[in-house]
Structure 1
Amino acid sequence: MVGTTDILNARILVVDDSSVNVLLLERMLRVAGYSSVTTTTDPRAVRDLYRENRHDLILLDLLMPGMDGFQVMQGLKDVETEGYLPVLVLTAQPGHKLRALQAGAKDFVTKPFEQVEVLTRIHNMLEVRLLLRESRNYGRLLEQYDQLTGLPNRTLYRKLLTRALDRSAARKRIVSVLFVAVDRFENVNDALGPEIGDALLRLVGDRLVGCIGPMDTAARIEGHEFGLIVATSGGDPQTAGTVANKVRHALRRPLEVGGAEVAVTASIGIAVSPADSPDAETLMKYAGTALHEAIGAGRDTYRFYSADMNARALETLELENSLRNAVERHEFILHYQPKMRIDTGEWSGVEALLRWQRPGLGLVLPSRFIPVLEETGLIVPVGTWVIETACRQIGEWAHSGIGRMRVAVNVSSKQFLRDGFVPDIARAIRKNDIAPESLDIEITESSLMSGSEEADNVLRELKALGVRIAIDDFGTGYSSLAYLQRFPIGTLKIDISFIRDVTTNPDVAAITVAIINMARSLKMKVIAEGVETQPQLEFLRRHACDEMQGYYCSRPLPAAELAKLREEDRAGTPRCTPL
């Protein structure tokens, strides 16, 4: 049996001509616990490195000068003795996927990518590689999968759960077991026949896989019951309730089976480790008990094994209902955080940040309500309100003593790729009679991943409108230079996780400097977010970062307080003076 230690000790080779990407990928792997990572920016060295070290996995870029990834794979085939090319392609060219897989790659990921997804694919590829090397017995693997859905069966589910529990104990993660039963499946099977019933179960399996993260597991336990394993590092067991609601909403959408549309609901039972038990078999038993309670409560719902967690789940549902009314009741407000030029200490603009003033409870932390907005889709109307409000504030400041002020608004991927997004912005600009260049739109690398061609069109429409565009949280999606050059992006914001450790971790410092230099070579502006100390500011100034924002200069403030702060800075010494 291949264990976690075996996987983390596996030999990994990173091949990319960009030194920035190599640094980011190596850091990602080291932080994840991988201990044997080799890197090279020279594709011509890969064949000899593999012959000498027999790496268990090669992370390979495709477009490299001198020798591309396809040529690298061809060279590897000449020295591969086991008939298995352990290559995971990471590239900014999604159109090369089929060709790469035909050339021998075992998996393919498009840049920029989600860190969790890539780490999961790496883990899975290493597990398969080591299992094959250990046993060379494909039949043994097939016996652990359900023949109808292709998902793990109950036997493998129990093994995967045990492994997840072992890993979570070391990393202090929460593991949730969800048992999902298709309500009244027997009626569908009897009315439409077993072939339609089987097809329905396959589609249900597909929907379940789409409801969980890339590091989680979906399995078919038996009959019309499925099992999910959801691991979270945030420490909140209610995450399982969020997944349960996502499953319920997903299965309510009609499923097309045999030329007919079938609508189903699901009952879900949840057990959580370590709160309920650290043992796999016990958790499965408890999840089954909770499932029967959900069915007994009328179906199309979920129940936790723990009574206390059931009460908290009801609180979450109440939070969702309150958020649905928050816009109409004018409970949302915007706070603004200054952005400063590092060389002069002058204001360069502000970022608008959403806050919820909940009656009787005061300001609710964004981390508490924004995930709920995302999950329910409310982020789209709320995001539209944010843009409208920010544009109105720009107009008010322009006609007051504050004068013209650039305001940045962070946009979710759901809002960014929605039809009507650019017309909404254009309408808000016209309505408030503001200059388009006064508005900055910040999007994450993952928003670009959601649909490259569609994202490209939206970005070009924004640029034509005159709105400036920035990539927020840069460094977490591992974008390539080629990918960034495709889009009309003017600014990179270095993620706070890098700035936090920039003066204490040499690897993080090297990555930060590389990002700054890369941006300057592309004629992009660089903003560091989350600056809290003078040493951090000194480091950024020394390496020619353009702008910063963070508590070192000011916390986010209501509009009136920010205007007062602006006047004070104008009248006296700037809050963030150049060093």
Structure 2
Amino acid sequence: MSVYPALKSHLKPLLLLVDDMPANLHLLAASLKADYRIKTATNGSSALDLAGREDRPHLILLDVMMPGMNGIEVLRRLRNNPETGEIPVIFVSADASEQSQLDTLELGADDYLTKPVVPTILMARVRNVLQRKRVEQQLRLAAHVFDHSGEAILITDRTNQIIEVNAAFTNLTGYTQEDVRGKNPRILACGRTTPEEYQAMWQGIRDKGIWKGELWDRRKDGGIYPKLLTISVVRNHHGAVDFYIGSFADITEQKAAEERIRHIAHHDNLTGLPNRLHLSVALEQSLASARREQSGLALMFIDLDRFKIINDTLGHNIGDLLLIEASRRLQGCVRASDVVARLGGDEFVVLLDGAGVAMDAAASVAHKILHSLGQVYTIEGHALHSTPSIGISIYPDDGSDAETLMKHADTAMYHAKERGRNNSQFFTAAMNAAADERMELERELRLALLEKQFELYYQPKVVTGDGTLSGVEALIRWQHPLRGIVPPDKFIPIAEETGLIEAIGAWVLDEACQQLAAWKSAGIGCGQMAVNLSAHQLRSADLIDQVAACIKQYGIEEGELELEITESVAMTDPKRAIVQLQKLRALGVHLAIDDFGTGYSSLAYLKLLPIQTLKLDRAFVRDIETDANDAAISAATIALAHSLGLSVVAEGVETEAQQAFLSSHACDLLQGYLFGRPEPAHVWTERWQAG
């Protein structure tokens, strides 16, 4: 393709004036320099050189009769060179004969002027040739775009008869130009576009001169496809319509992609269930229907018990497979018209709607879910149990809008967990007050962590035989600025559910070790410092580093720090617990099982745990004098521990009779109100200082 220099908006067009007479060049330049940039040449060779440079001229004014290389030869060489072949040339000659003008025009000249040149005529001719060249460029570009566009293009006349189509049109529709010329574009219609849609299209074209939208068409082979169509109007100088230009593309793949995106946006990626967004839309639609028909609906919040423990201990892959199986079971418990959605994590929602939905129907579905999800999950060789806790709200009894129903079902679900898990609870007004209280307590708990409202109290452990101090257990207390002291059983469960327990546990460990170091430095002997570990802490990858850091920072010697874990925590994932406890033992930490007898320890695992102490739970000590079963269990536990080489601490010792029984069965250490209540560090310090 020949190259013609593009006109830049900030520069005047460049003209090359060629004449062997400097006087002629001066006259031409004087007429043109106000509107154009000027270059001059006095011979053919110089003209060709200047025309071939990077800053090529937009037009050449060329003298015909020059010594050496005349203007005719210069024109021939310009046209034969791809770089200069498109530059327009106006001949300027003293020869005014018609034949001379004809000959040069046939050779490719764009215009012919005779000397002497009239300045106004010169200006008009130059302007016209440049304008014509611009139009030619635009037409050539438009033709190239038309022929090579990836979009199908059709042009119709003012009566909407097709006069031209491009190759992309033929490739897309199967119709050739001969097939459609002179016909109305309605031959492409498939019947899926309504008359109202066509009317709206033409109204848009009339009002704005352009319309863009989606239509459905039929190919020549009968295939139906969606297209994105743009129609624009071409008007003449009088404003009347000359042509309509339509360009369109097959958007089948785009529509499929949009549908995939829409599905992804409304469905859970793991289980394929509807997600929170989909549920929100479905719930609003069901509520609107229930209001019209004066019917009911039920919303069920379902949380999988112990799922987080399974996920953390066995890995996300096992957890994901369990969620997939749980979603399958849930779908099997409801009708096809009901909605089962996953909100995230192990939280699911079931929406039951229809005229027959009431408390009895919801209770029946909840019973099915409890039974189905309560069955063992066999996943990659693991036999797993993850029962559901279900909260239920009913429209209109428990709320008239989606937000309220969701909130109340969630509240009922938490109540089900508090009732021991693996059960269903219908929402009641009393639950709402409890939920509000819990949310406020959670907010205040986060604030307490930031404002250091926690304090450690220390309770003594004594040797059974002589009552000498063996050690102390660090017990957390929350010094609330308004509520006073908040007991651990009120805030520890919330801390565990929210994940705050890890930060709180880390603070307790550091504070207890710091206090132990302070007492040692002051010459105050407290024996062994015992600190409780939560399930979250034991599972944490940071635990070993945290303990090691405290030991190093505070100079804790081997055996001075005891970490207590509950029996249920150790048995949740005994293999992992063994690994973690072995690492702690290697740091010189003393290890104890707390609340022994209240869980479900396997003796096979118990003997593998690298522990040194069992703590007999206060539940067995409380009635040890009057309950033969408690007495037998306590005696057997002490004997079992000693046979395994473990020492025993009895918790909750409050009477001398309890002390006597435990002493008679060789219990090693005693802890309880009989020997001292938990007290803050400064009280211990003052007592020791007082002697």
TM-score (norm 1): 0.52
Q: Deviation at 1:347?
A: 0.4
1:451-480 C-alpha deviation (Å, 9 max, x unpaired) = 222211111111110000000001112324
**SS class of match (2:559):** helix
TM-superposed CA distance for 1:361, in Å, is 1.4
Q: Deviations over 1:83-103 (max 9, x none)?
A: xxxxxxxxxxxxxxxxxxxxx
Whether 2:634 is the aligned partner of 1:542: answer no
1:236-251 paired onto structure 2 within 5 Å: 251=343
How far apart are 1:384 and its partner, in Å?
0.5
Q: Deviations over 1:305-331 (max 9, x none)?
A: 544532331221111111112122010
Task: Please report the RMSD computed on the Cα atoms of aligned residues, expressed in angstroms.
Answer: 4.1
Which residue matches 1:209?
A: 304
Which has more radius of gyration? Answer: 2
Query: 5 Å matches for 1:503-518?
Result: 503-518=625-640
Residue type at the aligned position of 2:655? T
Q: Deviations over 1:243-298 (max 9, x none)?
A: xxxxx9x8334x9xxxxxxxx985999xxxxxx99x969x9996344665461449
Distance in 2 of aligned mates of 1:391 and 1:285: 46
Aligned partner of residue 327 in structure 1, secondary structure: helix
Aligned-partner SS, 1:504: coil
Residue 295 (structure 1) aligns with: 402
1:390 to 480, 499, 512: 512
Residues 339 and 350, structure 2, Cα contact 8 Å, conserved in 1? no
Deviations 1:103-128 (A, max 9, x none): xxxxxxxxxxxxxxxxxxxxxxxxxx
> 1:197 deviation in Å?
10
CA distance in 1, matches of 2:444, 2:337: 35
Change (3 A) 1:500 1:225: farther
Give how far 1:389 is off. 0.2
Structure 1 residues 365 and 294 mapped into 2: Cα distance closer, same or farther (>3 Å)? Answer: farther
- Aligned pairs, number: 343
Instruction: Give the drift of 1:362.
Output: 0.8
1:320 pairs with 2:442: yes
Match for residue 525 of structure 2 among 403, 416, 422: 403
Tell me which of 541, 556, 561 is aligned to 1:434: 556
Alpha-carbon distance between aligned partners in 2 of 1:206 and 1:314, rounded to the nearest angstrom: 18
Shift of the 552–199 alpha-carbon distance from structure 1 to 2, 3 Å rule, reads same
Residue 521 (structure 1) shift: 1.2
User: Aligned in 2, Cα 1:359/1:486: closer, same or farther, shift over 3 Å?
Assistant: same
Alignment check: 8 A CA contact 1:327 1:382 kept: yes
Work out whether 1:415 is the aligned partner of 2:522.
no
Which of 550, 558, 575 is residue 453 of structure 1 equivalent to?
575
1:380 and 1:268 map into 2 onto residues whose CA distance is 35
Task: Call closer, same or farther: CA 1:506–1:422 in 2, change over 3 Å.
Answer: same
Distance 1:196 1:330 in 2: 40
**Structure 1: stretches of 5+ with no match in the other structure:** 1-186, 228-247, 256-263, 270-275, 572-579
Q: Tell me the percent identity.
A: 38
Inter-partner Cα distance in structure 2 for 1:195 and 1:325: 36
- The reply to whether residue 492 of structure 1 matches residue 584 of structure 2 is no
Look up the equivalent residue of 2:303 and give its one-letter code.
L
Matched ranges for 1:94-243 at <5 A: 191=263, 199-201=271-273, 208-210=303-305, 220-222=333-335
Q: Does the 8 Å CA contact 1:529/1:550 hold for their aligned counterparts?
A: yes
Q: Which of 667, 673, 676 in structure 2 is aligned with 1:554?
A: 676
Does the CA contact (< 8 Å) of 2:593 and 2:611 recur in 1? yes
In structure 2, the CA distance between the partners of 1:399 and 1:307, relative to structure 1 (3 Å rule), is same
String of CA shifts for 1:351-396, please: whole Å, max 9, x gaps.
Answer: 0001101111110121111110011111111000000000000000
SS in 1 for 2:343: helix
Unpaired segments of 5 or more residues in structure 2?
Answer: 1-258, 277-299, 309-328, 353-358, 367-390, 413-426
Supply the distance in 2 between the matched residues of 1:289 and 1:436 (Cα, whole angstroms). Answer: 64
Structure 2 counterparts to residues 20-99 of structure 1, below 5 A: none
Matched residue type, 1:394: L
C-alpha separation between the residues in 2 aligned to 1:543 and 1:225? 61
TM-superposed CA distance for 1:419, in Å, is: 0.2
Judge conservation of contact 1:335–1:558 (CA < 8 Å) in 2: yes
Distance 1:292 1:517, change over 3 A: same
CA contact (8 A) 1:201 1:224 kept: no
Judging changes above 3 Å, is the alpha-carbon distance between structure 1 residues 365 and 222 closer, same or farther for their aligned structure 2 residues? farther
Aligned pairs (5 A) from 1:440-479 = 440-479=562-601
Distance, in Å, in 1 between the alignment partners of 2:430 and 2:301 is: 32
Contact 2:568–2:601 (Cα < 8 Å) also in 1: no
Question: How much has 1:542 moved relative to structure 2?
Answer: 0.6
Aligned runs of 1:326-341 on 2, under 5 Å?
A: 326-341=448-463
Name the SS for the 2:564 alignment partner: strand
CA deviation profile, 1:387-437 (whole Å, cap 9, x unmatched): 000000000000114135311001111111110101101101111222242
CA distance 1:531–1:203, change in 2 (3 Å): farther
Contact 2:393-2:405 at 8 Å conserved across structures: no
Report what 1:153 is aligned to: none
Shift of the 286–399 alpha-carbon distance from structure 1 to 2, 3 Å rule, reads: closer
| Partner Cα separation in structure 2 for residue 311 and residue 206 of structure 1 | 18
1:348 paired to 2:470: yes
Match for residue 132 of structure 1?
none
How many Å separate the matches in 1 of 2:265 and 2:538? 43
Is contact 2:581–2:610 with CA below 8 Å preserved after alignment?
Answer: yes
Distance 1:400 1:299, change over 3 A: same
1:379 paired with 2:379, answer no
Other structure's SS at 2:303 match: helix
Contact 1:392 1:432 in 2 (8 A): yes
Measured after TM superposition, the shift of residue 550 of structure 1 is: 0.6
Residue 344 of structure 2 aligns with which residue?
252
Q: Distance in 2 between matches of 1:550 and 1:399?
A: 27
Structure-2 residue corresponding to 1:564? 686
Change (3 A) 1:280 1:342: same
Structure 2 counterpart of 1:367, one-letter code: D
Q: Work out the CA distance in 1 between the residues paired with 2:406 and 2:436.
A: 16
1 CA distance for matches of 2:337 and 2:269?
9
Secondary structure, aligned partner of 2:452: coil
Report the Cα distance in structure 1 between the residues aligned to 2:398 and 2:525, rounded to whole angstroms: 60
Change in CA separation of 1:340 and 1:534 when aligned onto 2, cut-off 3 Å: same
Shift in alpha-carbon separation, 1:527–1:285, aligned structure 2, 3 A: closer
> How far, CA to CA, are the matches of 1:369 and 1:209 in structure 2?
22
TM-aligned CA distance change 1:286 to 1:505, over 3 Å: same
Structure number with greater CO (CA < 8 Å, separation at least 6) is 1
Return the alpha-carbon distance in structure 1 between the equivalents of residues 407 and 268 of structure 2.
Answer: 22
Query: Contact between 2:394 and 2:405, CA under 8 Å: does it hold in 1?
Result: no
CA distance in structure 2 between the partners assigned to 1:508 and 1:188 by the alignment: 63
1:476 to 1:306, Cα distance in 2 relative to 1, 3 A = closer
Equivalent residue number for residue 280 of structure 2: none
Letter in 2 for 1:495: D
Identify the residue that residue 623 of structure 2 maps to in structure 1.
501
